[in-house]
Each structure stands twice: as C-alpha cells, then as structure tokens.
Structure 1
Amino acid sequence: MKKILLVPALLLGTLAFAQDYNYEVTPVIGYNIAEGNLNLDNQVLYGAEMQYNGFNSPIKPELSILYTDADYENSTISTDIYRIALNGVYEYGKFGMIKPLAKIGFGYETIDKHLADNRDGAFFNAGIGAKVPFTDAIALKVESVYMLKNNNSRLNSNLALLAGINFAFGPKAQPAPAPAPAPKVASEPVKQEVTKAVALEKVMEVKAAEVCPPKINLHINFKFDSAEIEQESVGRVNKFADFLKCTPDYKAKIIGHTDSIGSEAYNQKLSQKRADAVRNMIIKDGVPSDKITTSAKGETEPIATNKTDEGRAENRRIEAELTKN
C-alpha cells in the first residue's frame, strides 16, 4: 500500500509544498510492535492526529489519538488499548518533494484488561516522519513513533509505524497589506513667468545637491529568528532615512526575507516583522509614513544557499527598493 501511495506523489513533483494552513487533520492507520514482556501480539493501529499552526512558533502543538485491539499471547483474551498524547511538532526545511518532521511529547494509555501486569499510565513518546504533497492542502504523512511507559515499576516500550492522508484547512497566514498609495490631487495651474520658474527650479536643484546625501541602497542582515535591528546597522538605516527626507520625489519599499529554517508561515511572519522594524525606524527618523511601504517574501527569495550557516546568514535580511514619482 505504501508503494502505491508514493507513485502519485512522485508524479506530482512539480507541485509546490502545501502552504501552512491553521489546521491539519490526519486519519492514520499503522502497525504497533509491542515489547516482548508485555505479552501482547503486534496489532494494527487506528487513529487521528490534529495539528494547530496558528501560533507564531516553529514548534506546532499536536493532539494524537490511537486505538488498537490487541490479543494477549498464548491466550484467547484480547484487550482494547487507547492512547492520547500531546506533542510538539517541528517541521524541517524541504528536501526536494519531502518535508521531514520530528515530534516529542507525553500521553496517557488505558488498557481494558490488565493481564501480565499491564496497567493504565502515562507514557513518553518521540518520533520522526515526513510529508509528501499531493496538492496544496493534501499530503501523504508517514511516521515512526517510539513510546516508553513505566508499567507497574518496569519500563516497557511500543513502536508505532503510521501512515495517513494529511488534510490542511483554515485560513492561510497572509502578510500585512502594504498601505495604499496616497491619491493624486490635481493642482490648479499657477500663472507665472516661465523664465522665473526655470530659474527657481535650478536654484532648488543646486541647494538640494549641496545638502542631500547621494542616492543610496539599503541592505541589512539579522540574527537567527530575530527582527531586532543590530547596532551596527542603525547608522545605515539613519543615512537611508536622511536621503528620503531630502528627496521628496522618492519613495521606498522595505522587503523582508528569512532563511529556510522553520515553517513557511512562520518565516513569512518573521520577514514581515523585519520589514516593519526597519520602516518604523525610518519613520521615527522623520520620514513621512506614506513614503514607506513594506513587503514580506519569507524564505522564497534566497540570495545564497540555505545549506550552510554562512548562506543562511546572508538570507536573513531586508532590502530597500526605491521608486521615483
């Protein structure tokens, strides 16, 4: 079955990875491998996993519910086993079509028939897995989850191999919209002598050239998972603000970027925070707010590889885009 499910996933290699929706639900089926001294046969598992992506954090909360009807070894007796767990899920950067994940958490197990010293109790679990997309909001999800339980003064373990179809839904995280440009107001023509207007314009251009700094670009970098402007970058932001204050015919768009560590939705929000931080500093320096807009690109436009620390450091940045009226 797993091989059959992987075929359409590979055929859909041109599809983009699923965007981060607020909610994910995954009905799962799998196989539970029980430790020998539990005296339980290995059995099929059924269940569901529910994940919430709305928090601005790379760790996503997940609720997992699993059920199995297990037979005791060398016996005609079977028992219902229910497990419920609360986990933290971390999704790594993309590797081709595959998005690896890891999770860790705690849960509680109830056993219908308490034979062989098996008891209800809390357990620790940790797992690894991956998602392979079919569409924007549907993906194959596979996992291997190790569960460790203190069972009547002895440690026992189970290994669950799970597969399911992951459904994502709910609103997508969107960057804050850029402020609308100020409406153009038609001005009444002013009658004046052409020679005087030309002379006055040339005088203003000469004065502006004497006072205003030359046209500059702005590009600063940030620390990992931070939107705080480093002290070494403050001077560059101030110089850029001075240029904008002195040149009323220029406007700027501040574009935020991140590396690929963390989920796409989290990086989208982080890049918006970086752009907003620079915009706020420029406005604080005296530049009118309608001259500065922002845009968030998240991890979508790297300028260096995300496979090295140096490359990721280059990608954690903002850039300024100047336009002339």
Structure 2
Amino acid sequence: MKLKNTVGLVVGAALAASTMPVMAQTAGSVEVEAFAKRYFTDSFRDLNDGALVGGAIGYYLTDDVLLNVGLGTYRNLRTEERFGADNKREDIDGRLSHVEAVYHFGEGNFRPYVSGGLAHQELDQVGKSNRDRTTMALAGFGVKNYLNENFFLKAGVDVAYGFDHSNTEWMAGVGLGLNFGGKAAPAAEPAPAPVVAPAPAPQPEPQMQAVRVELDVKFDFDRDSIRPEFRQDIQSLAEFMKTYPSVTTTVEGHTDSVGSDVYNQRLSERRANAVRQALIAEGVDASRVSAVGHGEARPIADNATDAGRAMNRRVEAEVEAKVQVR
C-alpha cells in the first residue's frame, strides 16, 4: 500500500465521520492513522537504512488505553553488497505488521504515550526465493497533539527486538490520524424533589425573612482538587443546610477558556462533583445536593488575562431559607 493511498483512507474516513457524534479520546472511540518512519536496520543484515510507511487502526478500551493494529511496507531498502554484471545493489521488499497496547498520560491536547506489543517482519533474502521472517517485540514512546476533537499529529520512537536473529532495530517517525466515535459521558442525575410535609393547622402567620448563603470556590489551573483555604467556606454552607433541612442546592462548575470545549466540560463537572462530595462528607444528605458543569460557557471575567482566568476557574453554589423574625 503506498503512503498516498493510506493518507487517502484517513481523509476519506474523516469525511465519513463528519456526521458522527464525536467525543475524542474516550473509551469506545476509534483512531485511524497514516504513518511514515525512518527505519534503522541491524548491521548483520548488510542493508542500508530505509523507510516504513503504512497505516494503523485502534480502539480505546478506556480513556487512556488504546489497542492498536497496523501494517507497513519498507521503502528504499537496498543491499550494501553489489551484484551482477552491472554491479548494482539489490532492492529489498518487505513488510511489518504489528499489534500493540498504547497507554496515554494526562488529558488535553498534548498526550505523551508509551507502547508495547508484538510484530511480524518479512524481508526478501538476497539471492533466494524465500523470505526472511521473524517475530519481534516492540516498545515505544512519543507524544500526540490533538489539533481538535477529530485530528491529531503524532511523533515517536520505536525499538524492535527480533527473537529469531537476536537483532535490535529502531524506527523514528511521524503520523497523521483521526479520532471518532466515542461515547458522551452520562448527564448528572437531577436531585429528587424535596418531600413536602402536610400543611399544619392555620396559625397566625409569623414574620419571615429570607437568608441567603453563597459559596465561591476557586481552583488552580487544570485541577479539580479543593484548595485548603476554601474548606471553611464549604463547612459553613454544610452547617447552614443541616440547620435548615428543607433547602437544596445545585453546585455549578466552571473553567477558563484554555483547552478544548470537551475537555473543559469534563473538568467543570469534576470540580462540581468534588465540592458536592465535600458537602456530603460534612453531613449533608446526598439527595439535597446536585452537581452540574458548564465548561467555559459562563465566564465572569476576561479570559485574556491571568487574573480573569483565575476568577473563571470556580465552583458556585447558593442556598436560601426563610427564617422567622423574633
């Protein structure tokens, strides 16, 4: 398969996937990739270094683990020794098929990875009709840059160890790929409606006053852990809710504009859930607290400045109760 044909398959898959709901880098999504690598042969083969071009397809078993299979063909491989009357070096044909597991680190646009698996290599044998076949162990590392929710660029290095010849060979190259077909995260369940007690017998209507308590928790960049200075504010809100057991609240998470919409949506949900769990840990019944993430859609400050982005990385909640005036 020629490289231009492989790239054509990737572009065709991108057009076919344009109508699909896309959640990149999630469990259940699929990646297809076209790659080109510089191939450094083992010295015992008496071959010059060449290239390996081909394609691969993978399936995300989890948000971080990708199972990948691929096939490449060798280009520009020639023997170092010269043959025949014209004293030319002989061209060598061959291919490399592989299956590997790839583990990705972190979240967001840049994702480093490590990989490991097995490969089967076939090369022409000089002056013979049969082929040199060997099974190889693969290990590699590199980084992917997700340009958007669909497309990514990849650069990496792979080392291959042949079991049959005890040879070690290297490959370094780049790839262009497409990610599509992931499943969207389930929406948070709404809190159940509070149970309304039976109306008591008519009494003289007391004078009531509304009391409101608001919570504003700020977060560090790309983090969902609660900073220590906001624990007292969360405890105060929990005590208020335990004092007035009929009130409920919705915890709303937000992010700044750095990163993709999909990643920021998930980050805002994780922040909201972190504050919700903190309220529950302080003794508030789980049915009285719900959580929702708004991503970067509701800024309260200018995302063009550090100070503005710091204000937008927040979780907000408020409760209101009617208190009898004595």
TM-score (norm 1): 0.65
The answer (yes or no) to whether the contact 2:52–2:74 under 8 Å persists in 1 is: yes
1:26 paired with 2:31, answer yes
Structure 2 counterpart of 1:176, from 166, 181, 188: 188
Per-residue deviation, 1:101: 3.6
Per-residue deviation, 1:45: 0.9
- CA deviations over 1:81-105 (Å, ceiling 9, x no partner): 1222222224654xxxxx4443222
Letter in 2 for 1:140: F
The answer (yes or no) to whether the contact 1:107–1:125 under 8 Å persists in 2 is: no
Per-residue deviation, 1:118: 9.2
Per-residue deviation, 1:255: 2.0
Structure 1 counterpart of 2:121, from 111, 116, 119: 111
Q: Name the SS of the counterpart of 2:238 in structure 1.
A: helix
The answer (yes or no) to whether the contact 1:225–1:270 under 8 Å persists in 2 is: no
Per-residue deviation, 1:125: 1.6
- CA deviations over 1:25-82 (Å, ceiling 9, x no partner): 123333232126553542431221222344xxxxx11222221233641335423312
1:82 paired with 2:97, answer yes
Q: Name the SS of the counterpart of 1:81 in structure 2.
A: strand
Greater Cα shift, 29-38 or 61-70 = 29-38
The answer (yes or no) to whether the contact 2:234–2:279 under 8 Å persists in 1 is: no
Letter in 2 for 1:243: F
> 1:279: which partner in 2?
279
Q: Name the SS of the counterpart of 2:280 in structure 1.
A: helix
- Residues 186, 44 of structure 1: CA spacing in aligned structure 2 closer, same or farther, 3 A cutoff? same
- Residues 236, 92 of structure 1: CA spacing in aligned structure 2 closer, same or farther, 3 A cutoff? closer
- CA deviations over 1:107-156 (Å, ceiling 9, x no partner): 333222486999543233223333345xx7xx233323321335667753
Q: Name the SS of the counterpart of 1:102 in structure 2.
A: strand
Equivalences for 1:1-325 in 2 at 5 Å?
18=23, 21-35=26-40, 39=48, 41-54=50-63, 60-70=64-74, 72-73=77-78, 74-90=89-105, 93=108, 99-113=109-123, 120-133=135-148, 139-150=150-161, 156-169=169-182, 171-182=183-194, 187=199, 190-191=201-202, 197-198=204-205, 201-202=206-207, 205=208, 215-222=212-219, 229=226, 231-246=228-243, 250-257=247-254, 263-264=263-264, 267=267, 270-282=270-282, 284=283, 291-298=288-295, 301=298, 317-322=314-319
The answer (yes or no) to whether the contact 2:212–2:321 under 8 Å persists in 1 is: no
- Residues 266, 103 of structure 1: CA spacing in aligned structure 2 closer, same or farther, 3 A cutoff? farther
Q: Name the SS of the counterpart of 1:278 in structure 2.
A: helix
Letter in 1 for 2:159: L
Q: 2: distance between equivalents of 1:304 and 1:103?
A: 35
The answer (yes or no) to whether the contact 2:255–2:264 under 8 Å persists in 1 is: no
Structure 2: gaps spanning 5 or more residues: 79-88, 127-131
> 1:57: which partner in 2?
none
Greater Cα shift, 173-182 or 110-119 = 110-119
> 2:129: which partner in 1?
none
Letter in 1 for 2:316: E
Higher helix share: 1
- Residues 75, 308 of structure 1: CA spacing in aligned structure 2 closer, same or farther, 3 A cutoff? farther
Greater Cα shift, 257-266 or 84-93 = 257-266
Letter in 1 for 2:155: S
- Residues 229, 69 of structure 1: CA spacing in aligned structure 2 closer, same or farther, 3 A cutoff? closer
- Residues 324, 164 of structure 1: CA spacing in aligned structure 2 closer, same or farther, 3 A cutoff? same
- Residues 324, 127 of structure 1: CA spacing in aligned structure 2 closer, same or farther, 3 A cutoff? same
Q: 1: distance between equivalents of 2:225 and 2:37?
A: 47
Q: Percent identity?
A: 18
- Residues 281, 229 of structure 1: CA spacing in aligned structure 2 closer, same or farther, 3 A cutoff? farther
Structure 1: gaps spanning 5 or more residues: 55-59, 94-98
CA RMSD of aligned residues (A): 4.5
TM-score (norm 2): 0.65
Per-residue deviation, 1:252: 2.4
Per-residue deviation, 1:274: 0.8
Q: 2: distance between equivalents of 1:257 and 1:215?
A: 21
Q: Name the SS of the counterpart of 2:138 in structure 1.
A: strand
Letter in 1 for 2:69: I
Per-residue deviation, 1:320: 0.9
Per-residue deviation, 1:166: 2.4
Q: 2: distance between equivalents of 1:49 and 1:308?
A: 39
The answer (yes or no) to whether the contact 1:19–1:172 under 8 Å persists in 2 is: no
Letter in 2 for 1:278: A
Q: 2: distance between equivalents of 1:127 and 1:323?
A: 52
The answer (yes or no) to whether the contact 1:175–1:269 under 8 Å persists in 2 is: no
